[in-house]
């Protein structure tokens, strides 16, 4: 393979890691902690580049790594998350404890992609044509000849959701048809995935920006770590439609912002 500026020094081992190298790396990190990947190989006495050490640690040596077959639940979760997030492997991995992004990416490429492809090839009986992708495309005015868009998901620890949009989707998902001004129904007894699968990231979830109207609307009262804080809902008569721990129960400690690129 090619070069790699940070890994091009001569005398650097490449390829599969030996048991000794693993032991050295493991001992060093358990003693000194993660980070400082650039200087780690020299200090640890490894003839590897820092990136390689980081990858080896994160994908193989790190405690708590779950290896072996994926369960059906994990498969299902990956498929759902991939539908929602696309190839944001690190984010998907964050929702599957013990699984690494590389692991999930490989599993997707070798098994799930085919599985989903076969499934999608069958006639859709229940699924609405308004998939997430199409809704995003529609919001962008994208033509059908360019079904793929490039998205960039970013992590951020504070997020806001348009309350009007949440009220709308909450109302749409409420079969009883709550009246205007009535308290928003709780999602407690509903499948929260329904909401995530309908989310239009570019519309509901606030992209990274510090000076938008959304910020002003929320008057500085934000979701923190994806959790709606009590009292943060702008309308004093409405409780947040999401339970305090709704996101956390889904495994979401963070929300996502989808920045759509090449949108013109």
Partner DNA sequence: AATTCCAGCAACCGCCGCGAC
Partner DNA sequence: TGTCGCGGCGGTTGCTGGAAT
Instruction: Please choose, out of 53-61, 121-129, 137-145, 174-182, the segment that lies near DNA by the rule CB under 7 A.
Output: 53-61
**Residue that has been written with the tokens 């358990």 in this structure:** 30
Compute φ and ψ for 227, nearest 5 degrees: -110, 130
67 part of the interface to DNA, by CB under 7 A: yes
Q: 122: which 2 tokens?
A: 């069958």
Report yes or no: 143 and 246 within 8 Å, Cβ to Cβ. no
CB of 194 to DNA, least distance (A): 24
* DSSP H or E segment with residue 256: strand 255-260
**Angstrom distance (rounded) from CA 160 to CA 220:** 10
Report yes or no: 88 and 105 within 8 Å, Cβ to Cβ. no
194 part of the interface to DNA, by CB under 7 A: no
59 part of the interface to DNA, by CB under 7 A: yes
78, 81, 82, 88: residue in contact with DNA (rule CB under 7 A): 88
Q: By three-state DSSP, how is residue 153 classified?
A: strand
Instruction: Please choose, out of 134-142, 147-155, 198-206, 212-220, the segment that lies near DNA by the rule CB under 7 A.
Output: 147-155
127 CB-near residues (< 8 Å, 6+ apart): none
CB of 41 to DNA, least distance (A): 10
26, 107, 214, 217: residue in contact with DNA (rule CB under 7 A): 107
CB of 202 to DNA, least distance (A): 16
110, 144, 210, 236: residue in contact with DNA (rule CB under 7 A): 110
Q: By three-state DSSP, how is residue 227 classified?
A: strand
Closest CA to 84 of 244, 201, 212: 201
What would the x/- binding string for DNA be over residues 2 to 21, using CB under 7 A?
xxxxxx-----xxxxx----
63 part of the interface to DNA, by CB under 7 A: no
Q: 249: which 2 tokens?
A: 């129960």
71, 106, 212, 249: residue in contact with DNA (rule CB under 7 A): 106
**Angstrom distance (rounded) from CA 125 to CA 142:** 26
**Angstrom distance (rounded) from CA 209 to CA 211:** 6
What would the x/- binding string for DNA be over residues 148 to 167, using CB under 7 A?
----xxxx------------
CB of 182 to DNA, least distance (A): 39
CB of 198 to DNA, least distance (A): 22
**Angstrom distance (rounded) from CA 200 to CA 235:** 23
Size of the site for DNA (CB under 7 A): 47
Binding site for DNA (CB under 7 A): 1-7, 13-17, 35-39, 48-52, 54-56, 59-60, 67, 87-91, 101-103, 105-107, 109-111, 152-155, 208
């Amino acid at each position: 393979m090619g070069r790699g500026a940070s890994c091009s020094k001569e005398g650097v081992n490449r390829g599969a890691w030996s048991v000794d190298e693993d032991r050295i790396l493991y001992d060093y990190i358990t003693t000194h902690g993660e980070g400082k990947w650039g200087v780690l190989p020299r200090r640890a006495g490894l003839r590897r580049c820092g990136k390689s050490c980081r990858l080896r640690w994160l994908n193989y040596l790190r405690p708590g790594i779950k290896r072996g077959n994926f369960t059906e639940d994990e498969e299902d979760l990956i498929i759902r998350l991939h539908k929602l997030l696309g190839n944001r492997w690190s984010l998907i991995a964050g929702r599957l404890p013990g699984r690494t992004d590389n692991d999930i990416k490989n599993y997707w490429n070798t098994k799930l992609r085919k599985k989903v492809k076969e499934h999608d090839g069958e006639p859709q009986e229940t699924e609405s044509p308004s998939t997430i992708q199409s809704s995003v495309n529609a919001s962008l005015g994208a033509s059908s000849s360019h079904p793929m868009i490039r998205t960039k998901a970013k992590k951020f620890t504070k997020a806001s959701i348009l309350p009007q949009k949440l009220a709308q989707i909450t109302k749409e998902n409420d079969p009883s048809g709550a009246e205007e001004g009535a308290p928003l129904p709780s999602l407690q007894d509903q499948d929260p995935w329904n909401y995530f699968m309908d989310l239009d990231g570019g519309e509901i979830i606030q992209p990274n920006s510090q000076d938008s109207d959304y910020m002003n609307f929320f008057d500085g009262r934000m979701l923190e770590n994806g959790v709606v804080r009590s009292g943060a809902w702008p309308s004093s008569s409405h409780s947040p439609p999401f339970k305090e721990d709704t996101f956390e129960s889904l495994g979401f400690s963070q929300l996502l912002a989808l920045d759509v690129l090449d949108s013109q």
